[in-house]
Amino acid sequence: MTAAAHPLFEAEGLGVTFPGRGKPVDALRDVCLTWAEGEVLGLVGASGSGKSTLGRTLMGLQRPSGGSLRFRGEPLTGPRDRDFRRRVQMIFQDPYQSLNPRRTVGAQVLEGLDVQGIGAPGEERTALAVAAMERCGLAPVDRYWHRYPRQLSGGQRQRVVIAAAVALGPEALICDEPVSALDVSIRSQVLGLLAELRRDEGIGLLFITHDVGLAWALCDRVAVLHLGELVEYGDVEQVLGAPRHPYTRELLAAVPAPRG
């Protein structure tokens, strides 16, 4: 997979500055990167390095203070439109951030389809929601449809969030520490689902993680953020297999052993 293929997102000199107490904080400084169609791009770095800020800025949840962004070659400025919100979805660490505790699973998977006007209301739309839930391992669907988020395990809740995203037929998922809050035993299942979505549906993933080992296992390319700056960026084998930057080596030192 080469970045040149068909870019989903392109960032050029991207900066985000927060006012902060006393002096401003540069959460991102002059970030240039490309996330290609169907690619799993890892975004790694320690806590506070700016990973979430970058994900939120791509989503339009955070306004950049400098630089430019493109999506599918088109400049991306201001609030994102409905079409963008169908094509690009965000998965947070905590599924409760995306789920409404007072609505059933079925209602929440249907909600995005309603908002986007996908499929005829009624049977057709319900069938799309059911198919997405099956695709995401929530089968038999009857068992989950009428439940509330609190009645599910953490892994099941994250599957509901992913199913609600997948139902809309997205091209890109921005996954911000999607398994960090899950039990270790559940993590690989949810990661397996994300990998399948990329393989089978060609959905590009921005995989944000502080866990370099996870990035190594899942990503095609990886970008390393350190205090808001991109210190290393390239094929995963190159960046994590033969790191050039001391900070990348430091991150890797915390990983028990490389895969393979």
Ligand X SMILES: Nc1ncnc2c1ncn2[C@@H]1O[C@H](COP(=O)(O)OP(=O)(O)O)[C@@H](O)[C@H]1O
Per rule CB under 6 A, is residue 2 in the interface with ligand X?
A: no
52 binds Mg ion (CB under 5 A): yes
Binding at 140: pick from ligand X, Mg ion, none (beta carbon under 5-8 Å per type):
none
User: Using CB under 6 A, which of 3, 11, 14, 27 touches ligand X?
Assistant: 27
CB of 146 to ligand X, least distance (A): 35
Read off the DSSP letter of residue 110. Answer: H
What are the φ and ψ backbone dihedral angles of 97, each rounded to 5 degrees? -70, -25
- In sequence order, the 6+-apart residues with CB closer than 8 A to the CB of 22 are none
CB 173 within 8 A of CB 206: yes
Give least dist CB 46 to ligand X, A.
Answer: 7
Residue 47: CB minimum distance to ligand X, A: 4
Taking CB under 6 A as the criterion, which residues in 38-77 touch ligand X?
A: 45, 47-53
User: For ligand X, which is the closer residue by CB, 23 or 102?
Assistant: 23
Strand partners, 7: 36
| 36 Cβ contact list (under 8 Å, min separation 6) | 1, 2, 3, 4, 5, 6, 7, 8, 204
Shortest Å, Cβ 99 to ligand X:
21
Q: Does 137 bind ligand X (CB under 6 A)?
A: no
Of 135, 143, 145, the C-alpha closest to 105 is: 145
The angle, 0 to 180 degrees and rounded to 10, between the axes of the packed helices 105-116 and 154-166 is: 20
Examine residue 172 and tell whether it contacts ligand X (CB under 6 A). Answer: no
Q: Which residues bind Mg ion (CB under 5 A)?
A: 51-52
- Residue ranges binding ligand X (CB under 6 A): 18, 20, 25, 27, 45, 47-53
